[in-house]
Every structure is written in structure tokens, then in C-alpha cells.
Amino acid sequence: MPINSRLARLAENPFSRLTGLLAGIEPRLNEPPIVMSVGEPQHETPPLVARIIAEGAALWNRYPPYFGTPEYRAACAAWLARRYRLPDGMITPERHVLALSGTKEGLFQLGLLAVPENKAGKPAAVLFPNPYYLVYAGGALAHGAEAVALDATAASGFLPDLDAIRPDILARAALFYLCAPANPQGAVADLAYLRKAIKLARDWDFVLAVDECYCEIYDRAPPTGALEACLALGGDLRNVLVFHSLSKRSNAAGLRCGFVAGDPDLIARFQQLRSYGGAQVPLPLQHAATALWNDEAHVEPNRALYRRKLDIAEAELGGRFGFYRPPGGFFLWLDVADGEQAAKRLWREAALRTLPGAFTASGQGSDNPGRRYIRVALVHDEATVEIGMRRLAQVLG
């Protein structure tokens, strides 16, 4: 059967790889397993979600606008202005915001929007941090680009070293996915870093897509956003798109309602693309999402829960495994010398499921920047996190 040959270039999903790695291993510990491999929030979803969806039951028979309701786009624009201290008019609902059925869909589709057949007379390139969210590589490979993984290691502050990107790569770059706060390391890009990234995008004419879905989960200071950097550069939004989600901010991963905002020309083209193949968010869900973006009362208590779990992890692991408090996000990025072996031991001896860092990164052997690490998601309740951290420390020493 003929299929798109580009699909063969896609790497195996990291969770499928984890299933294969642990296949046949039965936990010896006679206690309930704890799954800390998946970054799925376990906190309570705000009650207003269920109420508003129920109240909108009469709307299930209507096609939603693929670009989002006016109320939804207005709520997103207003939230951006509040969160990043943007002046009136810098982000308008009609020109600068587009609803997405979750940011995963939009990030992947962006490859179709931004990647030309050739750039500078050669195959286009898509850049992304390494380790990476698999959708970034998919957005490159499935749309015919060369995937260029930029190592983000401890030496570079767990962000790509922008000064190390070769000019020949920049000349072919069509798209640069940047995740800040970073998944999995929790690194936060400061204003100077974001300004430099934006300047590169404009100097070399590529799209800078900043995935900011962890921006509301932070330890001390709210992470700077790419739109703040645009403001610092004069307010121009050229070449820049930001992606936001309710999955982490509001514990509403199943709502599948996010948005993309930024360069109005890119938003207009994105809107045209989504009119052909974008999944529409049902109206009752958009109404609930609108209320979530307008509500701040649930956000700080949610953030405080993650801070307390970082306290627990620090008490159990501090001083070992390269532990540090991630400035953003809810993952621990632990140096255990060999992530795959550690993951097998933790499952066998502690019924604790973690994700080998190598499964989130590109490269073989010692060239894989995630090889030494495991990713641990602090998404459970505090008691479960404490048990998980204790098991990890006991097994790995």
C-alpha cells in the first residue's frame, strides 16, 4: 500500500519505547505502581469547567468557528496582556490570536505553514532544542524539512546555544521551535536570550515558534515571554508566534483548547490553513476555556501545589542525582549516569515508572544529551510524590 515515505523518518514515540524497555519486567515491590513518566496533571480541574459545559449542552449541534469564538479570542488576548504586561492594542483578538485544538495540533501544523520546499537553494531546515518534544521533530520531518536538533545541556543552561548555530544552518532555517520553560529540564529563557532569538529569526527570515505551555508553572519568578521580548524590541511581532495551553495552567488537558498568537500575517495564513484541516473546538468547550483564561483565582493555588512537591523532592533528593529546583515546569531532570538502566531498576525494584532522558532526545550513545538522565513528572498528590521520591532514592542510592 502506498504511503507517505516521510513517515518512516519519524522516531518512535518515547512512551512506546518505554513500554518496550520495560516489557517482561515485573515489579518486585508489592505496592501500587506509581507512574511518573507522563506529564499529565493530576490536580483537580476547576469546577466551573463542568458547569459551563453542562450549561452549553444545546450547542453540541452547532459547528464552531475554526478560528475560535470572538469571546474566546478576546479572553486569550486579554490574558496575554495581563500576564506579560503588554500595552493596549499590541495583541488584538481578530488579528493576532487563533484558537487551536490543543497546542500539539498547532505546533505540528506549523511545519506545513512555515516550511518551504527549499530555502537559499537547499532543503529547508527546522531547528529545535535537544532534548525535545516529539512534535517538533514531527513538524520538521513530516513536512519535508531537515530536522536540526540543537543540544541543550547543562553547559548551555539547558537551552540551545544560539551563538553556536552555524550560518549555513541559519540560512536554510525556516522554523525554530523553542520551548521555554523547557521540557524536560525546566530552564527559563530570560529577556536577553529571547531578544537574541527574535533577532536571529528576523535577520535570517525564519519563524520563531515559542512553546510557552509551562509558563504558569514556576518556582519563584514568572518566566519572561517572547511577546515581552517583542515589546522590548519596539513592539513588532514579525516572525514570532507563541503557543499557550490550559493543560498545565488549569489542569484541563482533556479540554483540548489552546491558542497561537503573534505575527498577524502568519496568523492569517494559519487561519487559512486551519480552514482546510484544523480540528474545531466544540462551542461548550470553548465557553469553558474562555472562563478559564478569564479566571486567575485557580492559578496560584495550583502553582503552590507544585512548589510544595518541589520541596518534597528537594528534601528527599537534594544533593544527589544532580538535583536542582527547575525554575519552570513540573519535571525533575535527574542525572543517574544511565537513564535506561535506571528506569529499568526503578520499575523492577520500586514499581516506579520514569522516562529515560535518551527517549526524549536525538543522538546515539554518548552523543545523546539525554543519555545520563531520567525525567520524573511531579504530577501526583503530595503523599504520592513523597513515596515516589523515597523509592527513587532508596533504589538509586
pTM (predicted TM-score): 0.96
H/E stretch holding 204 reads: helix 191-204
* Sign of the CA dihedral with 39 first, then 54, 52, and 260 last: positive
CB atoms under 10 Å from CB of 62, counted, come to: 11
pLDDT for the residue 117: 86
Q: pLDDT above 90 covers what percent of the chain? A: 94
Residues in the chain: 397
Of 73, 341, 115, 104, nearest to 206 (Cα)?
115
* Amino acid (one-letter) located at 330: F
Rounded distance between C-alpha atoms, residue 69 and residue 208, angstroms: 26
pLDDT for the residue 78: 98
Residue 54 has pLDDT above 90, yes or no: yes
Rounded distance between C-alpha atoms, residue 135 and residue 183, angstroms: 12
- Domains plus CATH for the chain? 5-44+299-396 (3.90.1150.10), 49-294 (3.40.640.10)
Half-sphere exposure of 389 (CA within 13 A, CB side): 26
Residue 9 has pLDDT above 90, yes or no: no
Q: What is the mean pLDDT of residues 138-164?
A: 96
Please report which confidence band the pLDDT of residue 329 belongs to, taking 50, 70 and 90 as the band edges: very high
Of 149, 183, 185, nearest to 165 (Cα)?
149
Rounded distance between C-alpha atoms, residue 52 and residue 148, angstroms: 43
Grid cell of 241 as nine digits: 508566534
Q: 184: cis peptide before it, omega within 30°? A: yes
